[in-house]
C-alpha cells in the first residue's frame, strides 16, 4: 500500500515523483535542522535577485502589452470620440488589474517577467496575495511620481528592491530551475 507524501513546510499533498511542493515550492525531502533558524524555503531553493536592467526590459514588454490592449478596447468603447481619454483610463485600470492578477496568480509575474524568467515573491520567497500585489502596484505609481527614483533604487539596494518592493515587502527573483507552482 502506497503512503501519501505531504510537504513538511505547508502540509500540501505532494504528487509522486515531484521534486518541489506544488503549493509552497519547497524541495521535497528537505527540512532545515531545528536549531538553524533557516526556513524550509531558504534551504529548498537558492534565489538570485533580478537586477535593474532585467526588470526594466520586463516593464517595457508589459507596457507594450497593456498599451496595445487598452488602445484597442478604448477605440471600441469610445467609437473614435475621446479615444485618448478612454484609453488612458483603461490603461491605468487595466495595468493595475494586469499586474495584480498576474503577480498574485500561480505564474507569480506579468508576461514581461515570465519571458525573462522572473517571479515576484514576498520577503520569505512565498507567492504574494492580490492585496499585496495591489499595494505593490500603488508603489509603482509613487515611484513614477517621484521621477522614477523609486525604480532606480533596484540598482543600489542589497536585494535589488525598488521602492514599491520595499513598501509591499516583495522581491523579484530569477525563477530557479526546476521550480514549479501548481
- Ranges of each domain in the chain: 1-45, 48-174
Residue-averaged pLDDT of the chain:
81
pLDDT at 60: 95
Q: 161 in helix, strand or coil?
A: coil
Q: Which three cell numbers stand for residue 27?
A: 524541495
Identify the top-confidence range among 9-23, 61-75, 84-98, 115-129. Answer: 115-129
CA 41 to CA 78: how far, in whole Å? 49
Task: Beginning with the edge strand found earlier in the chain, give each strand of the sheet holding 48-49 in spatial order.
Answer: 48-49, 170-174, 118-122
pLDDT at 29: 61
Better-scored residue on pLDDT, 10 or 44: 10
pLDDT at 108: 95
Mean pLDDT of 99-125: 94
Mean pLDDT of 135-146: 94
Question: What is the per-residue pLDDT across 54-106, written as a single tens digit (0 to 9) for each?
Answer: 999 999 999 999 888 877 777 777 666 665 676 677 778 888 999 999 999 99
Q: Which three cell numbers stand for residue 70?
A: 487598452
Contact between residue 27 and residue 10 where contact means Cβ atoms under 8 Å apart: no
- Residue 18 reports pLDDT greater than 80: no
pLDDT at 177: 74
Better-scored residue on pLDDT, 39 or 100: 100
**Lowest-pLDDT range, 1-10, 61-70, 96-105, 107-116?**
1-10
Q: Is the pTM of this model over 0.85?
A: no
- Residue 123 reports pLDDT greater than 80: yes
Amino acid at each position: 500500500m502506497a503512503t501519501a507524501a505531504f510537504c513538511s513546510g505547508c502540509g500540501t499533498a505532494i504528487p509522486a515523483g515531484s521534486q518541489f511542493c506544488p503549493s509552497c515550492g519547497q524541495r521535497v525531502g528537505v527540512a532545515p535542522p531545528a536549531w538553524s533558524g533557516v526556513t524550509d524555503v531558504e534551504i529548498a531553493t537558492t534565489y538570485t535577485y533580478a537586477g535593474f536592467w532585467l526588470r526594466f526590459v520586463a516593464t517595457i514588454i508589459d507596457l507594450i502589452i497593456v498599451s496595445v490592449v487598452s488602445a484597442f478596447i478604448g477605440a471600441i468603447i469610445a467609437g473614435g470620440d475621446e479615444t485618448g481619454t478612454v484609453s488612458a483610463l483603461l490603461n491605468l485600470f487595466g495595468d493595475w488589474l494586469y499586474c495584480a492578477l498576474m503577480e498574485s496568480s500561480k505564474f507569480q509575474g506579468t508576461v514581461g517577467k515570465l519571458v525573462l524568467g522572473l517571479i515576484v515573491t514576498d520577503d520569505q520567497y512565498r507567492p504574494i496575495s492580490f492585496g499585496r500585489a495591489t499595494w505593490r502596484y500603488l508603489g509603482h505609481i509613487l515611484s513614477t511620481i517621484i521621477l522614477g527614483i523609486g525604480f532606480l533604487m533596484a540598482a543600489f539596494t542589497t536585494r535589488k528592491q525598488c521602492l514599491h518592493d520595499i513598501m509591499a515587502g516583495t522581491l523579484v527573483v530569477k525563477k530557479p530551475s526546476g521550480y514549479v507552482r501548481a
